[in-house]
Structure 1
Amino acid sequence: MKARFIVLLSAVMLGSGAFAQDCQTTAALAYDDAKAKNYDAAYEPLMKVKDECPDYSLATFQYLAMALNYKIGKATGDEKTKYINELIDVYKGRLEHYPEKTKKGDIYGDIALLKFTHKIGSTEDRFNAFDKAYTEDKENFTSPKGLYAYFDLMVNMQDAGERELQDVFDIYDRVMAKIEEEEINEADRLQPLIEKQDAGEDLTSKEQRAAQIAEQRLTNFNAVKNALNAKLGARADCDNLVPLYEKDFEAKKEDVSWLRNANARLSAKDCEDPLFFKISEALHQLEPSAASAYSLGQLAEADGDRAKALEYYNEAADLEDDAANKAKIYYRIAQNYKSSGSFSQARNFYKKAIQAKPSYGRAYLNIADMYADSANNCGETSFEKRAVYWLAAEYVAKAGRVDPSLSNHANATVAAYNGRAPQKADVFQEGKKSGDAIQIGCWIGETVRIP
């Protein structure tokens, strides 16, 4: 009996070894084909390894996803549908067998994009696929295209009468908040690299690549924001919003959640309507918050009471926890100070806006604009006064890098400012050279180096 058990155990072990050896050989050949982008040859062996030994290596799922994407691109009709379903199965299999090396948000987002791109299932099915990516792993649902599709599908459902306008606003707010969060993350990665370059240091090849990726991601997110706003279009105009909220105000005037949503939408569009004041005041009484204080500041500003507006805006900034929203409040305060000629105060709040949201390019532009306006007042000599334009050009250049939507304007403005700054002959006559520091006086109080 004992001898028989040993024979059976040996047979099992030999079989297991042969099975593992077969997987190893098949996988190695398939991986070589996939690396060479010979996906037609790699496809069937990779499917075999996935089905028979899915725990062999994560590479099986990675290469198989590449192979299937290739085959989907070439196929049509039922064959394409087959490959799409297989790719969805591969994504799910990766998550099942390698959860520690797989981000749910990435996987669910990829599945949703696959369904969206190839129009698989109903509009609601596709929307729910993106909603799953967002709700189950918001942190890693970062695809610009996926975020746009998430909103686009909701708009389509609302157009078809399957959703309410408020549902569209809710998803818009959700997606825009996520995009702003990602913009802050990318700008945070880019900022130290810009500062290193500003200090005259060269970036390593790795740092250059990191800067390129961050700038491209910022460009992509900016494009999505523009597309979202175009898609939202007239739906969010005051002419539509006011009647929408007015009909429910009396019934909802003590509903904090309803007031908060209505206030946010009316505030975003600067709807100077009596309803906006009633909603903002009701919300501030029930639940004083950054949003309600900001809205009351907008109304005070519209009435011409700048002092009261600034009081409310500062209250809003103190109450606000979200970095992007806090930046918006600081920017509004800065704009008020700038328009009244209080440039130093304005700069303080523009810099607070940048600190809260490093991708706030318009804050850099406004600082540059104030510097340029002050050039004739900041310096003892013509050379010193014109040197202010170098400093203004630096701020404009930063604006274009952190916010790609401003890049064309920034490039033109940098050229204009540099044209007003001292030229090579002026630098030579002044007895100075490239890299020398010039101290800018008056309220600016900064140093600029000769380019």
Structure 2
Amino acid sequence: MKKILLTLAVLIGVQASMLGQSGWNWPEDPEKKAKAVEKNALYSDMLTAEKYEAAKPPLEWLLKETPDLNPSIYIQGVKIYENLAQTTTGKEQENLQDSVVLLYDLRMKYFNDVENVTNRKAAGAYDVWKERKDRYKDLYEIHKEAIEMVGAKGFISNTFHYMDAVRRYKLTGGPLTDVDVIEIYDQVQEILDEMLANGENEQNIQRARDYVEKLFNASVTIDCNIIDEKLYPKFIEDGKKLEDAERIVKFALAGGCTGSDSFLGAAKVVHKNVPEFGLARMIALRSKANDNLNDAKTYFEEALKLTEDNIKKADVHIELADIASKMGNKTQARSYAYDALDEDPSRKEAYAIIGDLYLNSFTECKGGNDVVKDRAVYIAAYEMYQKGGATTRMAVAKEQFPSNEDIFNYDYEIGDEVKVGCWIGETVTVKIRD
């Protein structure tokens, strides 16, 4: 008897409390109203006690008989159906999962609050439908609607849930192209950027980006043809926007498509707006490979301004030396080679570059009056190769040294100093070939 009285007291107390609250749309009929209060208290008690099966009948009575009673019957209803779905299988489980999503729609129908509920619906649908192939289309469309409606005001988890919905839908036959996925990926990244700007925790944003990146890579195989035939023409058509250029560069790097003109064109736009050593160097290397030496020289020189790292500077000076050599500017090429050595004395190949410059200057520098002096250019080359440890090239240079007969005829002795003229301006000691 005491237990019954206590239960009645609780029900009366709950009823009084709820009747005093705003936002409750109780039935006007007194009998129905009393029953609604009883059902509401009963399902609430069962939910608190985690007796979800017992909470289901009174909740469903409220959903049917008083659908506009209060948003709480939909909020709590989601919890009840989610928990019941975890303990069942087969068709019964699917019905419960579908009911979870339906509750969000009914909540919007009776209480509006569309943005907030759409955001929550996407999260709830992912929880219950992520393993349901028959619902992948719906899951994709729900997240698409939420992302477009709520954007950066939504849950951060919905960004990578959206990418996962895209992945699941596409890989199970959904009509999404690689280009569609790329555009969705960009949309999600922009939302994450906005969330970060709005004060979202940077670590949370990075974690979301990592998930999005993995899901994107699992959804799309980067095809260079996509970049060349779709992304780059659209980039040109839309006025070479920075965000489009950044996307092309990123995908080209991921797909190994850096040899194309599309990559080069986009990379130049990115570098112009966001100068960076690595990208400047890559543009220079690609331009050099295309025999566009002037562009290569320009971007290598820009790269030098963007780093304080001696090793990186030495690399660039070696490249500039090679370019200057190809352009026929031997003095500048030698200067760049010495600059490389100044930055990094271990870069012995710089000596080999200078040796090549000397070796290839015989015709240009010979006077034609003194064979020993003319061939001293090969001695200068040899000495550079020796400093660089280029033994094969040393042998090539040595074959062109003056002969014993030459030094006799021109009144020299081994060890005499000879000034190499022309642009070289080195002083060497006379040596003879074997």
- TM-score normalised per structure 2: 0.51
Identity of aligned residues (%): 15
Structure 1 spans left out of the alignment, 5+ residues: 1-12, 188-213, 285-289, 312-335, 341-451
Match for residue 215 of structure 2?
231
Q: Out of 276, 279, 291, which is 2:263 matched to?
A: 276
In the alignment, the residues of structure 1 paired with residue 191 and residue 85 of structure 2 have an alpha-carbon distance, to the nearest angstrom, of 30
Match for residue 249 of structure 2?
267
Residue by residue, what CA displacement relative to the aligned partner does 1:314-348 show, whole Å, maximum 9, x if unpaired?
xxxxxxxxxxxxxxxxxxxxxx46658xxxxxxxx
| Residue 243 (str. 1) matches residue 255 (str. 2) | no
Residue by residue, what CA displacement relative to the aligned partner does 1:105-127 show, whole Å, maximum 9, x if unpaired?
32331353145324153533321
In the alignment, the residues of structure 1 paired with residue 238 and residue 27 of structure 2 have an alpha-carbon distance, to the nearest angstrom, of 69
In the alignment, the residues of structure 2 paired with residue 250 and residue 15 of structure 1 have an alpha-carbon distance, to the nearest angstrom, of 65
| Residue 149 (str. 1) matches residue 161 (str. 2) | yes
Q: Does the 8 Å contact 2:67/2:110 carry over to 1?
A: yes
Greater alpha carbon shift after TM alignment, 94-103 vs 19-28: 94-103
Alignment of 1:110-259 (within 5 A): 110-114=123-127, 116-119=129-132, 121-144=134-157, 146-159=158-171, 160=173, 162-187=175-200, 218-219=203-204, 221-233=205-217, 240=222, 242-247=224-229, 254-256=236-238
| Residue 86 (str. 1) matches residue 99 (str. 2) | yes
In the alignment, the residues of structure 2 paired with residue 108 and residue 291 of structure 1 have an alpha-carbon distance, to the nearest angstrom, of 42
Match for residue 65 of structure 2?
52
- 1:37 Cα shift? 2.0
Match of 1:278, as an amino acid? G
Q: Secondary structure at the match of 1:74?
A: coil
Q: Does the 8 Å contact 1:154/1:168 carry over to 2?
A: yes
In the alignment, the residues of structure 2 paired with residue 260 and residue 73 of structure 1 have an alpha-carbon distance, to the nearest angstrom, of 47
In the alignment, the residues of structure 1 paired with residue 71 and residue 231 of structure 2 have an alpha-carbon distance, to the nearest angstrom, of 56
In the alignment, the residues of structure 1 paired with residue 184 and residue 234 of structure 2 have an alpha-carbon distance, to the nearest angstrom, of 21
Residue by residue, what CA displacement relative to the aligned partner does 1:413-437 show, whole Å, maximum 9, x if unpaired?
xxxxxxxxxxxxxxxxxxxxxxxxx
Match of 1:149, as an amino acid? H
Residue by residue, what CA displacement relative to the aligned partner does 1:172-197 show, whole Å, maximum 9, x if unpaired?
1122222333344454xxxxxxxxxx
Match of 1:244, as an amino acid? I
In the alignment, the residues of structure 2 paired with residue 235 and residue 54 of structure 1 have an alpha-carbon distance, to the nearest angstrom, of 41
- TM-score normalised per structure 1: 0.49
Q: Secondary structure at the match of 2:274?
A: helix
Match of 1:107, as an amino acid? R
Change in 2 beyond 3 A, CA 1:74/1:90: same
The structure showing larger relative contact order (alpha-carbon pairs under 8 Å, at least 6 residues apart) is: 1
Aligned length: 266
Q: Out of 78, 81, 104, which is 1:68 matched to?
A: 81
Greater helix proportion: 1
Q: Does the 8 Å contact 1:105/1:134 carry over to 2?
A: no
Q: Does the 8 Å contact 1:104/1:133 carry over to 2?
A: no
